[in-house]
Amino acid sequence: MNKHWLYYISPCILASVICIIGIVTGLAGMQSSGGWSFIYVIILGPALAILLVADFLVKMLTKGRLLYIWIIEVIIVVIMVLWLKHRML
């Protein structure tokens, strides 16, 4: 059974890619920032893990229903962004 491409490119996966880019950028800029960019790794590492676990659980619990996956994952990503924004301030 083939799944729609939006099943694989879900909001949690897109947010996870952004977290990975932030982690790589933080690790790459450690020498020039004097180690301060390691904060990206500390903050985005747990966020990445939470997003990947949430993606797995949502896809498992919704049994692959695409609309439900996207609605629930958009809500999760918005909550994560607000949580990270609150943590950064």
Distance CA 36, CA 39 (A): 6
Q: CB neighbours of 81 closer than 8 A, spacing ≥ 6?
A: 15
**What is d(CA 50, CA 31) in angstroms, rounded to the nearest whole number?**
28
* Token pair belonging to 22: 């932030």
Q: If you average pLDDT over residues 68-82, what whole number do you get? A: 94
- The 10s digit of each residue's pLDDT in 15-48 is 999 999 999 998 988 888 887 888 888 888 999 9
Q: What is the pLDDT of residue 45?
A: 92
Say whether pLDDT at 89 is over 70.
Answer: no
